[in-house]
Structure 1
Amino acid sequence: MKELQHLNKYFLKYKTHILLGIIITIIARLFLLFTPRYVKKIFLVIENYFEGTISKDVFKTELFEAILYIVGAALVGAILTFFMRQTIINVSRYIEFDLKNEVYDQYQKLSLNFYKKNRTGDLMNRITEDVSRVRMYAGPAIMYSINTITLIIMVIIYMYNASPKLTLYTIIPLPILSVIIYKLSKEIHNRSTIVQQYLSKLSTFTQESFSGISVIKAYGIEPQTSINFKTLASESKEKQIDLAKIQAWFFPMMVLLIGTSNLFVIYIGGMQYINGEIDSIGTIAEFLMYVNMLTWPVATVGWVTSIVQQAEASQKRINEFLKIEPEIKNAVNTHTKITGNIDFNNVHFTYDDTNIQALKGISFKIKEGETLAILGKTGSGKSTILDLIGRLYDIDEGSITINNTEINKLNLNELRDSIGYVPQDAFLFSDTIKTNIRFGKQDATDEDVIEAAKNAQVHKNIAKFKNGYDTILGERGITLSGGQKQRVSIARAIIKLPKILLFDDCLSAVDTETEEKILRNLKKISKGKTSIIVSHRVSSAKNADKIIVLDNGKIVQEGTHSSLINIDGYYKHLYLKQLSETESK
């Protein structure tokens, strides 16, 4: 259970509730143990009455009192059991809440490299299925364990006081039970781990299928996708059945062993009664009740063991991610000034997951308020520069400074808060258009949202929707066209009024007329701010204060539009090509 030690901090946090639950559990079990004693008393009263040692009135009085005590003890025990569940089970829900938040917070801290190496379905399964299995340990397993231990100790003490010899025979099956549990629990742990792994694979497959449903339909591969799903689901089913086969041994073994104990009680107890070692047949009835009171607690030993083993396997999977140290850390908690003065000095960067060297000795400077345009072929390193400014990755060699301070010595939260970023692949959330734009500024008014949408040239499109800005978007913004998604994403960036604006080929899906309008608005908005525009279009770059052209991770051209169109190279060729395409239209 070493992996489950991670939960000890939560048990300490809710120690008051847990201790209260333990006390209530012990008291509840004490009241339940009154029943066998008063059943024995009833037998004694009946024997005394038939032997003529007590009168009929005394018989009725003592019988009524015994029944009254049994009913009262049962009622008190039931009420206390209710409060026992309210304390301990509630704690498990609190721990589930805290653990999910801990996992989610860790997910947010981890770098992009982590998400490139792990599938979304697996991440979701660990924060849902795995945490739910851990909750079963933190609640029901602990509650039934306390209940079982308390009841076993108390029952054995009561049984021993009544008849030591009969007690000894009754508990003979318990060591056998211990060995069986030990053997089966090890196998349950192994099979539980495999089951959780297959659940992750199944979650990943379904998540990717739903996200890529348009591609699946476009290629007409629904039958093959269905076959693949059935194959994976069948494998997962087989692993679940393998686990169930092992778990199925527990309850029959418990019933068999308890039944054996009952036989011992009846036979040995009967012999003792005949030999005069037991003064009343009520003692045998009392013992039978004690043994059967142990049936459920002993049976839950197997169930609890199964829960603990599954929780151990799940917590191990959770801990694998919780133990990962984020590659990008915020080393500064104090306030750091962020301006638009950006300086790249001999920057080298290689992607860890592919080992591709994206940047090879990049150097350039941008002053606050300037606009830099970056052009180049696909894979030349344009988007990488924007990722490094947002410190989504740390560089291998060289330095990046903002306001003459190295980027890793800036407050990470303040750095990213000062940036308005429009990615190449615009991502919108399954919420209203208004909420998606407000994502850039949570306290923005409706007027701010509309103004940002107008500057992004998307207001007229939104106004035509039935619910306007309250239109609910589909997953990843599927409700909108590619150009509309890009413009909503632009609105989300500019509503922040950030000091640094980063545009990653965000106008590729709009026509040239709309592009011109957006660029004019951006020029007005970005006055006094530093802007970096990554594009494949000369029209997006021509008004920039500085233009750099990348090729294979290196700067091959640098200058202004007017200077670069007079130099034979990539920029001039791209300009002439796009100019001829425009004229032909």
Structure 2
Amino acid sequence: MKHLRFLNKYFYKYKWWIIPGVFFVIISNIFGVIPAQVIGHAFNLITENIQIYGLFNGFERSSIVYDIFSTSLFYFGLLVLVLYLLRGLFLFFMRQTIILMSRHIEFDMKNEIYAHYQKLSLGFYRRNNTGDLMNRATEDVNRVRMYVGPAIMYTINTAVLFVLVIYAMFRVNATLAIWCLLPLPILVVIIYFVNTMINQKSEQIQEQLSKLSSFVQERFSGIRVIKSYVREDYTQKIFAAESQGYKDNAMGLVKVQALFYPTMLLLVGLSTILTIYIGGIQVIDGSITPGNIAEFIVYVNQLTFPVSMLGWVTTLIQRAAASQKRINEFLQLQPDIVSRNIEIPQLNGNIKFEHVNFVYPDTGIQALKDVSFEIEQGQFVAIIGRTGSGKSTLANLIMRMYDANNGEITVDGAKLDGLNLNNYRSQIGFVPQEVFLFSDTIKNNIAFGLDQVTDHEINTAAKNAAVYHNIIDFELKFETMLGERGITLSGGQKQRVSIARALIKEPRMLIFDDCLSAVDTRTEEEILNNLSRVMKGKTSILIAHRISTIKNADKIIVLDHGRIIEQGNHTQLLELDGAYAEMYRNQLLEEERQTN
């Protein structure tokens, strides 16, 4: 239960929901117990009046006795109906307080988890898969909600009902009460073990269902590859095998449930038989009345449902504790990247790296080794190198997605880790290597970085990114809905929409992380010309593989295995006749081959 202590703050917050809820539980159970006593009195009335009616049968007074008898029964029946209506009313109030409170706690928890997820650093998302993050924020929270709502409600309800019913039973006759309750402990033990089995089976079904869903989602996403390699029959066989596993687990659960309910009914029936048998002996001895037997039978039936709930409630608590433990694991994590500065200066774009080293914490790979360079405001700087040379790592460090292990990074003369992070990033236009578009309209994808934006600004950004004419060719133009991850668009169109999203912010600094790879040379030249106009006097950093993309840069930094091996402009680097010149010659030869 120690993991569930995390919820105490919510219980305190919603204490004025819990206190009335407990009050309504008590009142509803009082109105649930009293009808049993009324039914007992009514049963005694029936037996006594039948005898009296038999004595007066054939006399004039028999009709008077019959009228009194029928009127009394009517009033008893009406009283029971009123009591059960009142019980139902307070049960409604009970659910409206405790169950609604659980929904409020669920809402608060999901918001807290989501807000905390957003504070955690990029490394956290590299170490954990998306499915697990989603599961903790949805399925685990739902299990905790079942604890703070139904589990607590039924626990309080069962405890109060037990106290009231057992008190009422022992007040009438202790011997009959003991015999009547004798099968219930056995029922509790059986329910606990059966519910544990049901819980295990349910867990297996959920795991199998998750595997099945993941399989289907992955295969549908890769349907083009499946069709290309003619593997439809193969994937169908795998799906059938996974489905069979799900079916077997589901059938196992059905068998357990099929044994559970008859067993429960058997023990409840045994309790009823004992009540009638022992009660009959007590009636013969004159210890109790026949009405007391009827009263006890009502009590037994009232206890049946709460007792059957005990195993289920125990399972709910166990599952909630396990889920809360998983939730706490992430909530207790602190972000690697922390920003406490509240100052919001305007970014100029002077960046300086001094002997920077960086090792990815999740893989242990050293991406940068003793990197030093300087970028001045207004410069167009290009970064080039082979795959895995550390180009994207440089972009991540400039964006402060990670902090350097050694060395120092300064922006406008101030240490990067001392800047207000939100203010700093808000002034940067960043286009990542892996373009991500949301399942939304093109318009909303372009306007993503701003709260308010005009159609004119969207059009201008699209034109600067050389994607405007592609968009207006669509039937719905800028209102065209994109599929998952922007699948509606081609690779080049996705890159250009992502560029438009960065340009619409009118950033003080622009970082392109190899985001022109899917764009043809002519479109690339158009985008770069627009950038030189839009970003005039502002810092631009372009990571690329094609030298034709970066040859007009003010400074070109050449990386190899995490080190800067050359830097200078295009002419200077060609004169060095080093790695850059070799790449340039190789790319010229490749272009000549493609032309021929």
TM-score normalized with structure 1 length: 0.92
**What residue is the counterpart of 1:406 in the other structure?**
415
**What residue is the counterpart of 1:326 in the other structure?**
335
Aligned equivalents of 1:510, 1:420: Cα separation in 2 = 19
**What residue is the counterpart of 1:119 in the other structure?**
129
Aligned length: 584
Which one is further off, 228-237 or 324-333? Answer: 228-237
Residue type of the partner of 2:13? Answer: K
- 1:65-464 counterparts in 2 under 5 A? 65-180=75-190, 198=208, 200-235=210-245, 251-278=261-288, 280-335=289-344, 338-464=347-473
Alignment of 1:44 onto 2:44: yes
2:362 counterpart SS class: coil
State the identity %: 53
How far off is 1:113 after superposition?
A: 2.7
Aligned equivalents of 2:324, 2:22: Cα separation in 1 = 24
Alignment of 1:62 onto 2:72: yes
How far off is 1:317 after superposition?
A: 3.0
Q: Describe the shift of the 1:252–1:165 C-alpha distance in structure 2 as closer, same or farther (beyond 3 A).
A: same
**What residue is the counterpart of 1:503 in the other structure?**
512
Residue type of the partner of 1:409? Answer: G
How far off is 1:379 after superposition?
A: 0.9
Aligned equivalents of 1:415, 1:450: Cα separation in 2 = 26
How far off is 1:563 after superposition?
A: 1.1
Whether the aligned pair in 2 keeps the contact of 1:423 and 1:505 (CA below 8 Å) is yes
Aligned equivalents of 1:188, 1:335: Cα separation in 2 = 57
Structure 2 unmatched runs, 5+: 54-63
Aligned equivalents of 2:92, 2:70: Cα separation in 1 = 33
Aligned equivalents of 1:500, 1:359: Cα separation in 2 = 22
Which one is further off, 183-192 or 49-58? Answer: 183-192
How far off is 1:434 after superposition?
A: 0.2
Which one is further off, 178-187 or 445-454? Answer: 178-187
How far off is 1:466 after superposition?
A: 0.3
Whether the aligned pair in 1 keeps the contact of 2:439 and 2:482 (CA below 8 Å) is yes
Aligned equivalents of 2:65, 2:7: Cα separation in 1 = 61
Alignment of 1:479 onto 2:488: yes
Whether the aligned pair in 2 keeps the contact of 1:426 and 1:489 (CA below 8 Å) is yes
Whether the aligned pair in 2 keeps the contact of 1:370 and 1:528 (CA below 8 Å) is yes
Whether the aligned pair in 1 keeps the contact of 2:25 and 2:156 (CA below 8 Å) is yes
Q: Describe the shift of the 1:485–1:315 C-alpha distance in structure 2 as closer, same or farther (beyond 3 A).
A: same
Whether the aligned pair in 2 keeps the contact of 1:125 and 1:200 (CA below 8 Å) is no
Q: Describe the shift of the 1:334–1:361 C-alpha distance in structure 2 as closer, same or farther (beyond 3 A).
A: same
Q: Describe the shift of the 1:568–1:320 C-alpha distance in structure 2 as closer, same or farther (beyond 3 A).
A: same
Aligned equivalents of 1:444, 1:510: Cα separation in 2 = 27
**What residue is the counterpart of 1:574 in the other structure?**
583
How far off is 1:151 after superposition?
A: 1.5
Whether the aligned pair in 1 keeps the contact of 2:4 and 2:324 (CA below 8 Å) is yes
Structure 1 unmatched runs, 5+: none
Q: Describe the shift of the 1:21–1:439 C-alpha distance in structure 2 as closer, same or farther (beyond 3 A).
A: same
Aligned equivalents of 1:248, 1:147: Cα separation in 2 = 27
CA displacement, residues 211-253 of structure 1 (integer Å, 9 cap, x when unaligned): 4444444444344444444444544555566666666665455
Residue type of the partner of 1:20? Answer: P
Which one is further off, 318-327 or 550-559? Answer: 318-327
Aligned equivalents of 1:272, 1:352: Cα separation in 2 = 77
Question: Which residue of 524, 541, 544 corresponds with 2:533?
Answer: 524
Whether the aligned pair in 1 keeps the contact of 2:188 and 2:311 (CA below 8 Å) is no
Residue type of the partner of 1:295? Answer: T
How far off is 1:59 after superposition?
A: 2.5
Aligned equivalents of 2:246, 2:108: Cα separation in 1 = 29
Residue type of the partner of 1:68? Answer: L
Aligned equivalents of 1:330, 1:230: Cα separation in 2 = 51
Q: Describe the shift of the 1:225–1:314 C-alpha distance in structure 2 as closer, same or farther (beyond 3 A).
A: farther
Residue type of the partner of 1:265? Answer: T
2:575 counterpart SS class: coil
Residue type of the partner of 1:282? Answer: G
CA displacement, residues 518-540 of structure 1 (integer Å, 9 cap, x when unaligned): 10110111122211100111222
Aligned equivalents of 1:243, 1:8: Cα separation in 2 = 34
Aligned equivalents of 1:51, 1:565: Cα separation in 2 = 121
Residue type of the partner of 2:9? Answer: K
1:46 counterpart SS class: helix
- Compute the RMSD of aligned alpha carbons: 2.6
Aligned equivalents of 1:207, 1:394: Cα separation in 2 = 36
Residue type of the partner of 2:293? Answer: I
1:52 counterpart SS class: helix
Aligned equivalents of 2:118, 2:532: Cα separation in 1 = 33
1:565 counterpart SS class: helix
TM-score normalized with structure 2 length: 0.91
